[in-house]
Amino acid sequence: MGPLIPNEIITGDWNFVIAILIGIAFGFLLEASGFSSSRNLAGVFYGYNFVVLRVFFTAVIVAMVGLLYFDYFGWLDLSKIFILPTYLSPMILGSVIMGIGFVMGGFCPGTSFTAIAIGKMDALFFAIGLFIGIFIFGESFPLFKDYYYSGSMGNVTLTDVTGIAAPWFAFGFTVIALAAFWVSAEIEKKVRKNTKEYKF
């Protein structure tokens, strides 16, 4: 029963081999989906290309439903998987800063790695920016250390916060995603009518 490594069904020695293999699959899917192009990615904010929305939301709902099935069949103990902890206020601020960075830089960290792999200089500069940003964060950390740890709620799930069972969230996200797929396809059609060329 999973998770295999924490339950010592696969020994920890394999951890880094598995990390590379999983990374290869991740990088391949990002690149093959068109995420190695900043213009493809930025399209989600301007309506000319919603590939980000399609891939991202499909992945979220498939993973949500998949995790629930794995739990239901007894293959994966969901109480043993890592749940990202919540620090409410710092995470809201962080995501706002990341949103601005996304529109300015045209990449997020993972997608920039795949774009570097196929020779995009803009992605390399974005990655250098990541390095600088994290360095500045670390150097100035003493200034906002208390804020960084504020709003701690622990490793809480949507169910812990709202009391609503996880399958309802999976269902809700699926309905929202399907509606978003339909609406975004209509918007894309209208916007693309005025687009004569698309430079990659």
Partner 1 sequence: MNKHKINEKPHYLNPYFGGVLLGLLVVVTFYITGRGLGASGSVKSTVVTTVNAIAPQHAENNPYFSKYIPKDKSPMNNWLVYESFGILIGGLLSGVIYGRIKKFRIEHGKHTTSSKRLIFAVLGGALFGFGSQFGRGCTSGAALVGSASFSFGGVIVMLGIFGTGYAVAYFFRKLWI
Q: Which of residues 87-126 bind partner 1 (CB under 8 A)?
A: 87-88, 90-123, 125-126
Closest CA to 33 of 130, 110, 144, 129: 110
Asked if 184 touches partner 1 (CB under 8 A), the answer is: no
What single-letter amino acid sits at 115? Answer: A
Asked if 28 touches partner 1 (CB under 8 A), the answer is: yes
Closest CA to 59 of 26, 105, 95, 85: 26
CB of 15 to partner 1, least distance (A): 6
CB of 22 to partner 1, least distance (A): 5
CB of 31 to partner 1, least distance (A): 4
CB of 175 to partner 1, least distance (A): 15
11, 13, 136, 175: which one binds partner 1 (CB under 8 A): 136
Alpha carbons 53 and 44: distance in angstroms, whole number: 7
11, 73, 74, 82: which one binds partner 1 (CB under 8 A): 82
Asked if 195 touches partner 1 (CB under 8 A), the answer is: yes
CB of 172 to partner 1, least distance (A): 11
Interface positions, 51-80, toward partner 1 (CB under 8 A): 51, 54-64, 66-67, 70, 75-76, 80
Q: How many residues bind partner 1 (CB under 8 A)?
A: 133
Backbone angles phi, psi at 87, to 5 degrees: -120, 95
8, 13, 142, 182: which one binds partner 1 (CB under 8 A): 142
Alpha carbons 171 and 65: distance in angstroms, whole number: 8
Asked if 34 touches partner 1 (CB under 8 A), the answer is: yes
Alpha carbons 85 and 83: distance in angstroms, whole number: 6
- DSSP states along 46-88: HTS--HHHHHHHHHHHHHHHHHHHHHHTTSB-GGGS----EEH
